[in-house]
Every structure is written in C-alpha cells, then in structure tokens.
C-alpha cells in the first residue's frame, strides 16, 4: 500500500521530535497504521541548522506554502505555533484537500470553529491531540473513551511552567519573582512568560477540552482568566496550614443554563491526587456520570512527549484516510449538527467556596464587622486562622475559608470589607474546589 506522505511546517523542538519518533519507530508505526508514514518535505526558518537533523531524503524549504500546496503531500503537520501565518497555512491545506495535524492550542481555541467547518466541507480531518497536555492522550480519552458518559465537569493542571513555579514556591517558601527567574534559567519559562503565568495558555487548552467534553463551540473569548503573578508566598503557606495546595487550574462545569469556563489559582485539598502533581507535569481530572472521576497524568510538554501525540494523530488519520467522512470521529466528539448552544456563564454567576485573607487591626470588634458583612451577602464561614503580620504589631493576617457562595456576592462583600477603617490594603481572594 502506498506510503502516506507528510509535510512538516516547523522543525524545531516538537517538529524535530516528531521526525525522530517517526524514524525510530517506523516499523512499529507502520504495523499500527497499516502503511508507512514518511516525512518527505519540511518548511524551516534556517536551512543550514535544519539540514543536520533532516539528513537524506527530506526536502527542506523556507516556503511553508510550497509544502501546503505540494500535490504529493497527504497530511500537513503544523508545528510553527501562533495565529498567523499558521491559520492561513491550515486553511490553505484544507482547501487543497489535505488532512491536518496540529499542536497549536491558540489556533484551535480561537479559530477552531472556522477550521472544523472548512474541514467538514472538504471531507478532511484536523487532528489536534498535541494541542493539550503534551503527550497525555486526554483529548482521545474524552472524545472516544468516555463517549458513553455525560461529562459533568473537568479540571486540569495544564501549564507546566505555572505548576513548577507553584511547587517551588511551596517547597522553598520563595517569592514568585525569584522562582520565575529560576524557571527561566532552567528553560521552563520563556523570556516573556506572560502567556504562561497569566493563564492564557491554560485557557486555550481548557477551551478545547470543554468544547469536546460538552459538545459546544470554542468560546475562548468568554473564559475567565487569572494567572499566578500576584500570588504571595504567604498564601501558599497559609493554604498548606489549612490542608490545601494551590494550583493553577482550568475548570469547566456543565449546568442547565450554561457552562463554567475559568482559569485561576485554586485551593484544593492536599489529599487529592491532582494536588500532588508537582514540577512541570500536567494532569487532567474528568468526571463522567457513568465512570466517575478519571485522572490523566504525564508530561505536558517537551520534544518527544508532544511528538508522541503528533504521531498518534498521524496514525489515526492514516487509518481513516479512505473512510467515509461521515463515519469518522467528529472533531468535537459530537456530530457537527448536534453541537449545543450552551453559553459560557458570566463569572459573577459562578458559585465557589473562597479563601479570603485580609490585614486587619488587631483590636476587638473587627472580626464581628467582617462576619456581619459576609452574613449580609449570605456567605458563611467554614474555618479561620489569624497570624501576626510582619508589617507591624498592630496588624494581623486574618484568613477565612467560606462555604459555597455566589461570585457576585463575594465581590460585594470584599468591596465592603476593604472599605472598613480597620482593614489595611486589599483583600486577597482565592477560589476553592473540593473535587470530590
């Protein structure tokens, strides 16, 4: 049977890993796919640098469109990242009747609706397992393995940079800025780490996961996004004292009137498995009505872990390349005409328990005022600790854990607490999830 010919767009960390895995495991991959999968062309930025990796038999070019428009290419693998020119290249490949494999979470989260519609019209596949959680096959698990379930909620540690920083802050008691510099020195964080530390990368991935889990269109622009750059070491320490770990979680839950789509630092009980995922590792927890909670853990980035997912997509596309397009696994798990119009709920309608830390004057009556304000908004207290502040003898750190409360009510309560003369500065609010 004729070998499948692949054109790579990008021969960097993931592209190089993909080429290495395809060559090293060529026999095993062919046995699984039913025919050989060969990379014949690659578009690169630097021909001289790429030549050593490419070796013989791989045509290199600096023109990505030459690969996309080459009639001999069956599958285009987009690994250049970003929105443009990646979007134009993917859309051109689809228009040319070529299947696409991509690891580009930003592209899928922002333009997936358009890309999948074009692919459906042309009868081609767009595979994107590597766009979320590196080598963890979580997209396949949700889309296929849990197809008999009504997914109730999912959450994930889906950014290794943030997880490394939070793990180090907890272990060493270090400040965020110091650990960020360490992460950059080790290559875990970019020179400009904004996408990672501000939660944008995690939100891209969560958007994709929620679309597959609930059968809804991509709705990245509606996601609530908070990062970890303002997180204080003392909050991590207080959380630990109370039996919690702080993780940057992407969380999506289904309700009758919409879905939650939010990324933020979250307190989770230290006894939960996902709370003990450390360093740069990723984990995704998915709750189905039939199977219960399922946990997927592994390397969320890196050359060969991500290449593992890219090659798995190549095998899937190769197996189904001659199949009737109507009998392939749908891009978003549900048939295209069966996607739900469920909107993303405004954050003010979300209900979570909360961690509230404030610097209060150490004098009688202050806590009574705070609890009165919380009570007026229907917010009850679950636990409290009080510790002296380093800033002065007259101030104390007061930490309150609340029961479930509506986000909008917590917003009002925080504003009223901050207006008290006995409260110094801003109230720190972190959300809590039991993940039971």
Catalogue the active-site residues. Answer: 205
Tokens 């048939």 map to which residue? 335
Scan for tokens 């207006």, then name that residue.
419
Instruction: Supply φ then ψ for residue 348, to 5 degrees.
Output: -65, -15
Q: Where are the alpha helices (DSSP H) in 301-388?
A: 303-320, 366-376
Q: How far is the C-alpha of 349 from the C-alpha of 409, rounded, in Å?
A: 9
Q: Which phi and psi angles does 374 have, rounded to 5°?
A: -65, -40
Where are the extended beta strands (E) located within 209-307? 224-225, 244-255, 258-269, 281-288, 292-299
Length of the chain as a residue count: 436
Please give the structure tokens belonging to residue 253. Answer: 């839950």
Number of helices (H) and strands (E) in the chain: give both, helices first. 15, 17
Whole-angstrom Cα Rg for the chain: 24
Beta bridge partners of 359: 397, 424
How far is 307 from 311, CA to CA, in rounded Å? 6
Residue 286 near residue 296 (C-beta atoms within 8 A): yes
Do residues 428 and 246 lie in contact, with contact meaning Cβ atoms separated by under 8 Å?
no
**Distance of alpha carbon 130 from alpha carbon 205, whole angstroms:** 10
Beta strands in 121-232 (DSSP E): 126-127, 151-157, 224-225
């Amino acid at each position: 049977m004729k070998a499948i010919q692949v054109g790579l767009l990008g021969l960097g960390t993931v592209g190089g890993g993909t080429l290495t895995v395809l060559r090293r495991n060529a026999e095993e991959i062919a046995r699984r796919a039913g025919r050989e999968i060969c990379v014949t062309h690659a578009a690169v930025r630097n021909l001289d640098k790429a030549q050593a990796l490419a070796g013989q038999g791989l045509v290199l070019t600096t023109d990505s469109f030459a690969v996309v428009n080459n009639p001999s290419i069956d599958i285009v693998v987009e690994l250049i990242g970003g929105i443009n020119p990646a979007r134009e290249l993917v859309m051109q490949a689809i228009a040319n009747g070529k299947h696409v494999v991509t690891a580009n979470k930003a592209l899928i989260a922002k333009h997936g609706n358009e890309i999948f519609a074009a692919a459906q019209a042309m009868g081609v596949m767009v595979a994107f397992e590597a766009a979320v959680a590196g080598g963890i096959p979580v997209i396949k698990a949700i889309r296929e393995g849990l197809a008999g379930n009504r997914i109730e909620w999912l959450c994930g540690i889906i950014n290794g940079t943030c997880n490394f920083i939070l793990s180090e802050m907890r272990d060493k008691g270090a400040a965020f800025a110091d650990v960020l510099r360490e992460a950059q020195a080790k290559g875990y964080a970019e020179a400009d780490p904004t996408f990672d530390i501000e939660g944008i990368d995690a939100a891209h991935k969560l958007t994709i996961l929620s679309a597959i889990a609930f059968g809804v269109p991509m709705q990245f622009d509606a996601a609530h996004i908070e990062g970890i750059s303002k997180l204080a070491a003392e909050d991590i320490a207080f959380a630990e004292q109370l039996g919690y770990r702080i993780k940057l979680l992407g969380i999506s839950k289904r309700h009758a009137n919409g879905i939650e789509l939010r990324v933020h630092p979250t307190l989770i009980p230290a006894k939960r498995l996902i709370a003990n995922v450390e360093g740069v590792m990723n984990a995704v927890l998915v709750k189905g009505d039939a199977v219960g909670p399922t946990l997927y853990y592994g390397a969320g980035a890196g050359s060969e872990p991500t290449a593992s997912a890219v090659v798995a997509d190549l095998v899937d596309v190769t197996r189904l390349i001659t199949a009737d397009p109507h009998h392939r696994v749908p891009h978003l798990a549900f048939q295209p005409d069966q996607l739900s119009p469920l909107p993303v709920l405004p954050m003010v309608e979300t209900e979570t328990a909360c961690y509230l830390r404030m610097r209060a004057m150490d004098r009688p009556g202050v806590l009574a005022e705070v609890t009165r304000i919380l009570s007026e908004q229907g917010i009850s207290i679950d636990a409290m600790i009080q510790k002296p502040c380093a800033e002065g003898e007259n101030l104390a750190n007061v930490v309150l854990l609340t029961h479930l409360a509506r986000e909008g009510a917590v917003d009002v309560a925080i504003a009223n607490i901050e207006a008290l003369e006995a409260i110094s500065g801003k109230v720190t609010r972190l959300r809590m999830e039991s993940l039971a």
